[in-house]
Amino acid sequence: MEGKRKLSVAICHPDLGIGGAERLIVDAALELKNNGHDVRVFTAHHDPRRCFEETVNGSFPVTVYGDFLPRNVWNKLHAICAYIRCVFVAVCMVLFWPKFDVVLVDQVSAVIPILKIKRSKIVFYCHFPDLLLAPHTTTIKRLYRKPIDWLEETTTGMADRILVNSNFTASTFARTFRKLHARGLRPSVLYPAVDVEQFASLPEKANVDGLPAETPFFLSINRFERKKNVSLAVSAFDIVLSQIENTQVKLVLAGGFDRRVTENCEVLDDLQDLARKLGISEHVLFLPSCSTQTRDELLGSCVCVIYTPSDEHFGIVPLEAMAAGKPVIACRSGGPMESVLHAKTGFLCDPKPAAFASAMLEFVKDPNLAKSMGSSARSHVRDRFSRQTFGSRLVQELWCALSR
């Protein structure tokens, strides 16, 4: 039956903005369509001004329900509001749409029992257990999170198939959801992917204000969130500047930024303050919410990419960097341990400024090193993390869910 029948697939995702999780959803929709299946994405928020181009150019349909619902209440209750918004999307899917063969649920498992009403098969993609991302630091917060954490584990166990983004997340899943693990529930690893050909011929110069042509620069691409630890890149770069004569080198901090999100604004302000305190503001360029074109120009012309999160669940940026032929400097933990080959496609370091600075200086001292590592990096990504490989594996997982 596999390969002979066209599947109707729905994807349920909380917020179709710009980020690694959103990139995975876009790639999933594109690959399902390329494999001959019908696919539609449902979400609670989709801003055409801040999204991946494929979500607005007709590559696949996107339906929005519940954007009028609040994201928080007086900057509190973010988790409950997120659940309510996603549940509203799921209810609308059940009420207004016919049965889908498979629903790929991303991030929020609370919608699973609702979507099973029409007996669709459910595949849940877990980027990381939410209960580990939420603070449990006070009695009130622990009481607040207790029913949410229970709901997460209970509804996750109702999926017909569970996917995770790395072996690191799979092991975390087992330690976190002990009841599910005791039941013998084992998630499958489906690595995120990149369209390698999209990064095959990028511009070698970035047309960016404040970045003169031929200026060597290190690039950080991350959302402006505390967990991304972008201050590590700033502190490491300060050490680099203190040890080189070429003070024309720059650090570019680009990435997702949403003014609606208080944390984004606070982190950007903190990073700018840090650069000022270190006296390196003129060498650090901030590009929040840069366009895809600008991102590609930056990837095509940077020395290497600095990726600073610790214990990152997987991390799509290292893949994009390596697909662009750029080495990556990342923390020696989490997902990058499975994507970056140390001393071959980049460097894996302790999350300390001195360690990152030492790796950055390797590229400053030997410009040819970046080229040789970059070539190896592109081959590595093409072999293991292409979008075609991802799409083939995803289709296999959907058929596995249908066979249950």
User: Per-residue pLDDT averaged across 290-294, rounded?
Assistant: 83
DSSP 165: S
User: Per-residue pLDDT averaged across 83-92, rounded?
Assistant: 95
Give the pLDDT of residue 137: 66
Measured CA to CA, the distance from residue 132 to residue 216 in angstroms comes to 38
Task: Please provide the DSSP assignment of 380-395 as one string.
Answer: HHHHHSBHHHHHHHHH
Stretch among 31-35, 262-266, 283-287, 341-345 having the lowest mean pLDDT = 262-266
Measured CA to CA, the distance from residue 72 to residue 79 in angstroms comes to 8
For the question of whether the overall pTM of this predicted structure is more than 0.75, the answer is yes
User: Per-residue pLDDT averaged across 14-26, rounded?
Assistant: 88
User: Per-residue pLDDT averaged across 214-218, rounded?
Assistant: 90
| 240-256 pLDDT, tens digit each | 999 987 778 999 999 87
Beta strand 250-255 with 284-288: parallel, antiparallel or unpaired? parallel
User: Per-residue pLDDT averaged across 352-373, rounded?
Assistant: 95
Buried b (16+ CB within 10 A) or exposed e, 158-167: ebbbbbbbbe
First-last CA distance in the chain: 14
Mean pLDDT of the chain, nearest integer: 90
Give the pLDDT of residue 1: 45
CA angle (393 as vertex; 388, 395 as ends), nearest 5: 95
Q: How many CA atoms lie within 13 A of 42 on its CB side?
A: 25
Domains of the chain: 8-193+386-402 (3.40.50.2000), 196-384 (3.40.50.2000)
Token pair 């490491």: residue: 236
| 104-147 pLDDT, tens digit each | 999 899 999 999 999 999 999 998 777 666 666 677 777 767 77
> DSSP E strands: which ranges in 140-243?
161-164, 188-189, 217-221
Instruction: With a cut of 60, say whether residue 149 has pLDDT above it.
Output: yes
